[in-house]
Structure 1
Amino acid sequence: MSTAREQPDPRATLRGGLPDRYLTADDIAVIFKVPKETVYQWRKKRMGPPGFRIGKYIRYDPADVLAHVAERKRTDQDAA
C-alpha cells in the first residue's frame, strides 16, 4: 500500500463536482487536452479561463473554469 496520496484526475473530479482545491496550469492542460504552453498563451491573450496569481504561481478557480466552459458553449451555439 502506498503512503503517498494520489491526485485524482481533474477531468473526473470536474465531471463529478467542483474539486476542493484551486487548479494549476497543468490541471487546465489535462482537462482541455492541450499543451501547458497553450494554457499560458490563453492567459496572455485573455482567451481561456480566468486565472489569478498567488506569488509566482497561477491558479484557477474551478467555478471560473466551469463558467468559462458554459460561456464558450453558449457562444458556439449562438454562432451556429
Structure 2
Amino acid sequence: MPSVPAEGWGLEQLLDIGELASYLGVPISTIYDWRTRGKGPAAYRFGKHLKFAISDVRAWVAEQREQA
C-alpha cells in the first residue's frame, strides 16, 4: 500500500512526543513530567505511542498566555 500523508486522508497532523518537544522548545522529559501532573496538551495513545493533534497543541498553547 503506498504511503499517503495524513492530510491526503483528510486527517489532522499528529505530532509524536519528540516533535511536540521540538515545537514547544522544551525537553522531552518536560512533556512526560507535564503528563504525570495532568498538564500539557491532550494526547492520543496508540499502543505505547503518544500522539498530539496540532489543533490541541495550539489550543493548549493559547491557554498558557499570561494576562498582563
Give the structure with the larger helix fraction. 1
Work out whether 1:46 is the aligned partner of 2:38: yes
Are 1:43 and 1:51, in contact at CA under 8 Å, matched by a contact in 2? no
Q: Report the CA distance between 1:22 and its aligned residue.
A: 0.5
Out of 21, 27, 31, the position equivalent to 2:19 is: 27
Whole-Å Cα distance in 1 between the matches of residues 13 and 62 of structure 2?
Answer: 20
Out of 54, 62, 65, the position equivalent to 2:57 is: 65
Q: Which has the higher contact order (CA 8 A, sep 6+)?
A: 2
Which AA in structure 1 matches 2:20?
Answer: I
- TM-score, structure 2 as length reference: 0.75
User: How many aligned positions are there?
Assistant: 57
Which AA in structure 2 matches 1:30?
Answer: S
- TM-score, structure 1 as length reference: 0.65
Whole-Å Cα distance in 1 between the matches of residues 34 and 13 of structure 2?
Answer: 21
Stretches of structure 2 lacking an aligned partner (at least 5 in a row): 1-11
Give the structure with the larger strand fraction. 2
Work out whether 1:37 is the aligned partner of 2:22: no
Stretches of structure 1 lacking an aligned partner (at least 5 in a row): 1-19
Whole-Å Cα distance in 1 between the matches of residues 43 and 33 of structure 2?
Answer: 12
Q: Which runs of 4+ in 1 moved over 3 A?
A: none
